[in-house]
């Protein structure tokens, strides 16, 4: 391996503790053996998301409450109502509480059954009531032995609300590309894998002895100390792509292991990360190819992915190569879901999460607050469970893994933490949405996902629209709820000189993202905003790393009414409420405390 660092290296966006590593190698290798499996009689998951049908109606007759049969005149009236709908009705049985079950010659939708019941009731004055004999189904609770350890799916505090979603969609028919380290043919995952590709050209990175080929299997990405050309410790193989893929589509209700968010979907493994990371050029090619585009020298995929999961990232602005690749993927209808990053900093400096057109995902802990490592900021769209293994490994995200320290070993399971783990939760939910409504565009998916998210149960400042709710998102996709459209943020460039209130730059867009800069120790920037009656202006200032800027708010008379002066490069936020009946004018001021450089100022009301 060359001593020089890989240019623009990307790394998997996850972290694991030494405690978690020990559990992975020892206890979790036999996890399935000690987890008790609840036994449930379940409906076929292939039927999930379809409207339940029935071939029966229940009718209560006033004069036949104690009869085991119906007289010919009574039955004839019911049959006449059925004939008008093209149905043939027969008496099936009497029930113990005095009503009768009539059975049709074919299954009906609930709407048809209700229409029949109404017709029977209106055509016979002897009918006390009539109603469809509906088929009831339990909410899917998988019998996977470790499902009970996947708090991130069902716990009411910070879980994904998946059981309710599974009754409506399992992701069937959707392919999700996991653009990552490749995959291992884990027994709890392999049946849901479709053909992928290895896009790593550099053999020092690929670690499999060759360049690009059709084998996306993960040979391991372990490195020795300092092998990547900078100071770092030795690292065992992460098997990162296998963990991510398991969260999306591990085999479910198969009596072993873990469950997947969209277990009816298929995973396309696309290998771009190896030893020390991966190249932007490889990643961009993978984005294009996985979405059904053309890459020179690579045969087109026969299973284009409608969802692309990128649990990877690096620092800096979104590069043109990656942005162009994302644009082409979106043009083919693919939704791109990206990890916000694990640097506890503003996502504006984390690529590709800061690229346009992606769904950037922050991570929450088991309490529903922002995970200590998660990036944040105005460019974050939503948050999902990412875990925190510092106090207990079981507070992380449990998924499929491999037990090999360097080269592949036996199948295992592990609790990981990171925005890498939050991202496949969202990618899986997007698959559930698209299986329910395949006509949704990437923008419509994002809008409905964000509009259906629920409020954070704990502090998660700058974590996007809310915590993803799988069941509500599927409803939003189907149109059974009417999501509130997400306002489009307008980007505004700062215009100098604006160093006094009299020269304040007027910002009229709502919401607006101002790109500004502090160029010297004497520089200061003022912005003028009109706050509508009854509205609250929220202003969020995010300086570049290494700079310390503060945020002040002044009323129209020039009196300072609010300030935020957090230390270092922390994000400052102020809010101003207009409780009056007419619009008021306010001024926001960006003040230098230390350093110079760029910043973003998000304004919304």
Active site residue 180: yes
Q: Which residues pair with 25 in a beta bridge?
A: none
Give the whole-angstrom CA distance, residue 2 versus residue 258: 39
Among 412, 420, 452, 471, the active-site one is: 420
Give 520-572 as a 3 state SS string: CCCCEEEEEEEECCCCEEEEEEEECCCCEEEEEEEECCCCEEEEECCCCCCCE
pLDDT of residue 52: 54
Give pLDDT, residue 232.
84
Residues of the chain with pLDDT under 70: 1-52, 96-98, 134-142, 481-486
Site of tokens 């991202």: 423
- Tens-digit pLDDT profile for residues 292-351: 999 889 999 999 999 999 999 888 788 878 888 899 999 999 999 999 999 999 999 899
pLDDT (0 to 100) of residue 305 = 98
The DSSP element (H or E) to which 352 belongs, if any, is none
Given 124, 144, 180, 475, which residue is catalytic?
180
* Number of CB atoms found within 10 A of residue 225's CB: 10
Which residue out of 14, 240, 243, 425 is catalytically annotated?
240
Q: Is 306 helix (H, G, I), strand (E, B) or coil?
A: coil
Report helix, strand or coil for 20: helix
CB count, 10 Å around CB of 142?
Answer: 29
To 5 degrees, how large is the angle CA 31–CA 34–CA 38?
105
Closest alpha carbon to 604 in 524, 517, 514: 514
Sheet holding 197-198, edge to edge: 197-198, 266-271, 175-180, 307-310, 335-339, 359-364, 382-385
């Amino acid at each position: 391996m060359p001593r020089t660092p890989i240019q623009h290296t990307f790394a998997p966006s996850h972290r694991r503790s030494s405690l978690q590593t020990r559990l992975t190698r020892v206890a979790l290798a036999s996890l399935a053996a000690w987890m008790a499996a609840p036994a449930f009689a379940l409906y076929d998951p292939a039927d999930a998301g379809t409207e339940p049908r029935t071939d029966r109606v229940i009718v209560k007759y006033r004069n036949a409450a104690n009869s085991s049969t119906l007289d010919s005149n009574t039955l004839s009236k019911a049959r006449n109502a059925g004939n008008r709908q093209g149905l043939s009705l027969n008496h099936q049985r009497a029930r113990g509480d005095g009503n009768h079950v009539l059975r049709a010659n074919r299954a009906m939708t609930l709407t048809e059954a209700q229409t029949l019941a109404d017709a029977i009731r209106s055509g016979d004055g002897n009918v006390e009531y009539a109603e469809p004999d509906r088929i009831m189904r339990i909410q899917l609770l998988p019998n996977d032995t470790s499902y009970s350890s996947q708090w991130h799916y069902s716990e009411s505090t910070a879980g994904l609300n998946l059981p309710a979603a599974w009754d409506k969609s399992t992701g069937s028919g959707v392919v999700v590309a996991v653009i990552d380290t490749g995959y291992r043919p884990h027994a709890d995952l392999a049946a849901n894998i479709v053909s992928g590709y290895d896009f790593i050209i550099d053999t020092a990175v690929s670690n499999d002895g060759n360049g690009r080929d059709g084998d996306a299997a993960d040979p391991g990405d372990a490195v020795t100390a300092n092998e990547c050309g900078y100071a770092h410790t030795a690292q065992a193989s992460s098997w990162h792509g296998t963990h991510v893929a398991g969260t999306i589509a591990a085999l479910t209700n198969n009596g072993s292991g873990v469950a997947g968010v969209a277990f009816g979907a298929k995973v396309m493994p696309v290998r771009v990360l190896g030893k020390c990371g991966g190249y932007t050029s490889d990643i961009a090619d993978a984005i294009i190819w996985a979405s059904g585009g053309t890459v020179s020298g690579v045969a087109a995929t026969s299973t284009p992915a409608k969802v692309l999961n990128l649990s990877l990232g690096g620092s800096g602005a979104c590069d043109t190569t990656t942005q162009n690749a994302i644009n082409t993927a979106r043009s083919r209808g693919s939704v791109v879901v990206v990890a916000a990053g694990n640097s506890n900093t503003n996502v504006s400096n984390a690529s590709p999460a800061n690229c346009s057109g992606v769904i950037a995902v922050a991570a929450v802990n088991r309490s529903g607050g922002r995970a200590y490592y998660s990036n944040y900021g105005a460019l974050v769209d939503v948050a999902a469970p990412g875990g925190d293994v510092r106090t207990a490994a079981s507070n992380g995200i449990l998924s499929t893994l491999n037990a090999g320290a360097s080269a592949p070993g036996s199948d295992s399971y592990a609790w990981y933490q990171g925005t890498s783990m939050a991202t496949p939760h969202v990618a899986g939910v997007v698959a559930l949405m698209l299986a329910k409504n395949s006509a949704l565009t990437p923008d419509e998916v994002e809008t409905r996902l964000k509009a259906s998210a629920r409020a954070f149960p704990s502090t998660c400042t700058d974590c996007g629209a809310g915590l993803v709710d799988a069941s509500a998102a599927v409803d939003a996709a189907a149109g059974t709820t009417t999501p509130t459209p997400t306002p489009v943020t307008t980007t505004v460039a700062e215009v100098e000189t604006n160093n006094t209130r009299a020269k304040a730059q007027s910002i009229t867009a709502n919401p607006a993202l101002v790109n500004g800069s502090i160029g010297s120790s004497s520089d200061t920037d003022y912005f003028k905003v009109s706050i509508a009656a009854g509205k609250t202006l929220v202003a969020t200032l995010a300086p570049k790393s290494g700079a310390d800027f503060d945020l002040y708010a002044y009323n129209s008379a020039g009196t300072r009414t609010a300030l935020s002066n957090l230390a270092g490069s922390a994000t400052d936020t102020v809010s101003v409420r207009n409780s009056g009946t007419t619009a008021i004018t306010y001024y926001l001021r960006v003040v230098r405390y230390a350093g110079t450089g760029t910043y973003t100022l998000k304004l919304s009301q």
